[in-house]
Amino acid sequence: MGKRPRHFFGHMFKPSAEWKKLFELGEQLAPYRVKWEGMTLPLLTPELILLTTTKVPDLTLSKSLCDSGLRLGDLEEAVNHAHQNPELLMF
C-alpha cells in the first residue's frame, strides 16, 4: 500500500486553465479589496464568482447561465452593492 499525500488538494488535483481564468477575471472585477497580513487582496464573493462565470465565454456553464434567464443586471447590482465594512464579508 502506497503512502497517502499529506495535503489532498494540490497534489492530486491541479486547477484547470478554466478555473485559473475564472479566478483571474474575478480578481480583476472585484469591487472590494481588503487588507490581510500586510497584503491587499480582492474580495471574491459568491455573487462575484457567479457573475464572472457568465463573462468567461470558454466555460460551458457560462452559456447555460446566460440562457437560463439569470437577471444579470440584478446580479451586477448585488456584486457592486456598497458595503460599509467589506472586511465583514471575509470568510
Digit-coded pLDDT (tens) for 6-52? 555 556 677 888 889 999 999 999 988 888 889 998 988 888 999 99
Distances (CA, A) of 8 to 4, 12, 14, 15: 9, 6, 11, 13
Phi, psi values for residue 83, rounded to 5°: -110, 135
Diameter of the chain measured on Cα atoms: 54
More confident: 57 or 87: 57
